[in-house]
Structure 1
C-alpha cells in the first residue's frame, strides 16, 4: 500500500513542500535519486520514459535528460547540483531546455532542496521547491506538476517494493 504524499503550496512565498515516507532505508532512497540508470526507471510519469544524457552528481555537476512521450515527442530538462550532504540532502536548480541544453526562458526554473531522514518507518523524503515568483509556480502547477510529482514518488515506491 502506498504511503500518503503531502503536497502543500504557499502561493505568497512561491514555494511547494512535498513529503513522503518510504519503508526503505535512506541510503537506498538516496541511490534512486543519484544514479542515472535508477532515475531513468521512475522519473518520468508512466507511460512516459526518462532518458538520461549525462549525470554528474557532484557540486556544480549536471543531470541532463529527456522526457519521452508515448508518441516519441521529447521534452528536455536540466538539473544543476549545488550543495551535497552525502546521504542526507542536496539541492539543485531544475530548468527546461531545448535538445542542445539551452535554457527555455518561457518555462519556469525552480530550486529544489531534497532531504532524506531516517525515521522508524524507514525514510522521510522532504522536497522544498522555490520559484522566482508566484506566477512561475502557478504556471508549472497549471502544467500538471502536482499530479506528475505524486505519480513519480508513487512509481518510485512501487519500484522499491518490487525489490523486496
Structure 2
C-alpha cells in the first residue's frame, strides 16, 4: 500500500506538505482531481461520500459539494479555483459553507497548491496546504484531516486501478 506523507513546511508553522504517489498516468490522476464524477468516487474518506452540487473547473470557477456522512449528516464545502496549468498544477482556496455557499467563518479555510509530476510507474501529487494561522492548521488536523485525506487517497488508488483495466 502506498503511503501519504505529511510534513510541516520548513519555513512555516501554518503550511502542511502532503505527498502521494499513484500508479497511473498523470492524465488519469489529473482527471481524477478535476472531474466531478470521478471526484465523487474518491474524495470523501470512507464511509462518507462526496456529492457535487455544482462544479466549474476553470480559473475563477468553483466546486460546491458536501460530504454525506453515514448518518445522513452533510458537511458543505466550496472550492474556488484560482490558477490552472493544465495537467501540471492548480491552486484553489476552499472553505466550509452552507448549502447556498455562504462561508462558515467558525471553521478554517485553506489555500491548496496541487502539483502533478510524472515519475517511474505513475504520478506524484504534491499538495501544499496553507492556513491563515498555526491554530487553523491545528484545528483542521484535530478534525481528522490527515487520516481522512489518507483514506481518500486509498479510495483514489481503487478508482485508478479500476480505470486502468
State whether TM-score is above 0.5. Answer: yes
Structure 2 Cα separation of the partners of residues 5 and 43 of structure 1: 14
Aligned partner of 1:161 in structure 2 is 161
The match for 1:89 is 89
Q: Unaligned 5+ residue runs, structure 2?
A: none
C-alpha distance in 2, partners of 1:88/1:28?
12
Q: Distance in 2 between matches of 1:63 and 1:43?
A: 12
Whole-Å Cα distance in 1 between the matches of residues 84 and 9 of structure 2? Answer: 26
TM superposition shift of 1:55: 0.5
In 2, are the aligned partners of 1:16 and 1:129 still within 8 Å (CA)? Answer: yes
CA distance in 2, matches of 1:63, 1:75: 14
Map residues 123-162 of structure 1 onto 2, 5 A cutoff: 123-162=123-162
Instruction: Supply the RMSD in Å over aligned alpha carbons.
Output: 1.2
For the 8 Å contact 1:89–1:116, the answer to whether it is kept is: yes
Q: Give matches, 1:101-140, under 5 Å.
A: 101-140=101-140
Q: CA deviation at 1:98?
A: 1.1
Residues 64-101 of structure 1 show CA distances to partners (whole Å, capped at 9, x for unaligned) of 00111111111100000011000000000010001111
Q: Deviations over 1:22-45 (max 9, x none)?
A: 111101000011111110111111
Gaps of at least 5 residues in structure 1 are: none
Misfit runs of 4+, over 2 Å: 9-13
Query: Across the two proteins, how many residue pairs are aligned to each other?
Result: 163
TM-score (norm: length of structure 1): 0.96
- TM-score, length basis structure 2: 0.95
Please state if 1:20 is matched with 2:20. yes
Q: Please identify, of 65-74 and 10-19, the stretch whose mean Cα deviation from structure 2 is larger.
A: 10-19
Partner Cα separation in structure 2 for residue 26 and residue 6 of structure 1: 19
Aligned residues of 1:59 and 1:81 also touching (Cα < 8 A): yes
Residue 4 (structure 1) aligned with residue 33 (structure 2): no
Q: Deviations over 1:46-67 (max 9, x none)?
A: 1111100010000010000011
Larger displacement relative to structure 2 (78-87 or 12-21): 12-21
